[in-house]
Amino acid sequence: MLRFMYTDACPAEDVDELGGGSPPCEMLRCLLTAADRCPELKTKCVSFLVDQKNFRDAVLTDGFVQLVQKFPGIVAELKEVTK
């Protein structure tokens, strides 16, 4: 699942690649289940980020700059949460 999240590529249909023999349809089912949880995950990440100490630490990283460049709407979401 992590490989899919970070590379946006499905694992090959190789048994070893799928973690011990899970059929491809089982892997896709698991990925879809995880995808359904993304809004909740995003909410938790935003809540974590708006904490003053966490925000101060995060805003000074290259990753935060890239996040804002790729998803400029995140700034508005952060402002909304802090109101």
Q: Evaluate whether 1 touches 31 at the Cβ level (below 8 Å).
A: yes
The structure tokens listed for 71 are: 């998803």
Task: Compute the half-sphere exposure of residue 5: CA atoms within 13 Å on the CB side of its CA.
Answer: 10
> pLDDT tens digit string along 2-37?
676 677 666 654 444 445 555 556 666 676 677 667
Per-domain residue ranges of the chain: 2-36, 38-82
Q: Looking at residues 49-67, what average pLDDT do you find?
A: 86
Rg of the chain (C-alpha set)? 17
Mean of pLDDT over the chain: 75
